[in-house]
Amino acid sequence: MSRTALRAWAELLRLPALFTVPGDALVGAAAVNARPSRGTFLAIGSSLCLYEAGMALNDWADRAEDAVDRPHRPIPSGRIRPGAALLAAGAFTAAGVGLAARAGRLPAAISTALAATVWAYDLGLKRTPAGPVAMGAARGLDVLLGAGASHNDGARPLGSATGAALTMTVHTTAVTAVSRHETTGGNVLAPAAALATTATLAGALLRTPVGRGAAAPLGLPGPTAYALTAARPLLHAALNPSPPLTQRAVGAGIRAMIPLQAALTARAGAPAAALLTAALAPLARRFAKKVSVT
């Protein structure tokens, strides 16, 4: 495959955004007091595949709209055929559900629900008022996938992961609401609401006790890094909701998921997983300069 083709697929799949995915499973595992295991890594693999399925399907579903608003995207520019993108979405979906099934029946069921949510969002819900909530639910299910795949007899009940899943759901819903105006701009309410959501979640995290050991240093920097990553671009977009500033706010909101995941993992008492998750942030920032995450 040529470098041009590789670049096109990297853009279609928004590869830098993949750094925001592993933390979901690690948050889920930490929330049920389970150490990362084979099941956790199967959940991470499943999540990565299903995320990429959503990216490919998103551009396939938006190909007519992108031809007008974003003709540089891989499909409208002719660098990737629509059929190839749809085939990739199907292959990634099958691989994602298959990997989760290897971790057990519960992960298989959760991954199936996650895949259904992704396809429902891209093929219909995206353009309805339920769109942001559906996307948020996908992130929440991703956390529960990690919890279900990592769960063992000595772990806490799966319900212990619902708080972390809800936190990721709320943040993702807010960012998705902003993303609906990436190409048109002009919306002040969405970035303002996302900014308020960021402040609320960061404040709640700061009031929550952090785990001991190596995770303790993330007690203040974790939520602070989350707030600082997302807040400034959201404020700029609220003050001047132009398409470039709105797109920048969406990108920052996506990258902010990493420090948010690190903070949640630290508070669940998983220091190694929290530090590993936090280490993904500079990588995401670096690669986002080469390939857009939106």
Nearest to 107 by CA among 161, 43, 41, 26: 43
Instruction: Give the pLDDT of residue 141.
Output: 98
pLDDT at 221 over 80: no
Q: What is the pLDDT of residues 73-122, one digit of tens each?
A: 999 999 999 999 999 999 999 999 999 999 999 999 999 999 999 999 99
Query: How many CB atoms within 10 Å of residue 19?
Result: 24
Write the CB contacts of 294 (distance below 8 Å, at least 6 apart in sequence): 14, 179, 182, 247, 250, 251, 254
CB-CB contact of 103 with 47 (8 Å) = no
Contact 175, 194 (CB under 8 A): yes
Tens-place pLDDT, residues 23-53: 999 999 999 998 889 999 999 999 999 999 9
Q: Which amino acid is at 43?
A: A
**In this structure, what are the phi and psi dihedrals at residue 262, rounded to the nearest 5 degrees?**
-60, -40
Distances (CA, A) of 233 to 229, 237, 272: 8, 6, 30
DSSP code, position 184 = T
What is the Cα–Cα distance from 49 to 62, expressed in whole angstroms? 20
pLDDT tens per residue across span 131-157: 999 999 999 999 999 999 997 756 788
Amino acid identity at 246: T
pLDDT level of residue 166 (50, 70, 90 thresholds): very high
Q: Is the pLDDT of residue 270 over 70?
A: yes
Mean pLDDT computed over 46-66: 97
Using CB atoms within 10 A of its CB, is residue 32 exposed (0-12), middle (13-18) or buried (19+)? Answer: buried
Predicted confidence at residue 154, as pLDDT, reads 65
**Structure confidence by residue, pLDDT tens digits, 177-206:** 999 998 888 899 999 999 999 999 999 998
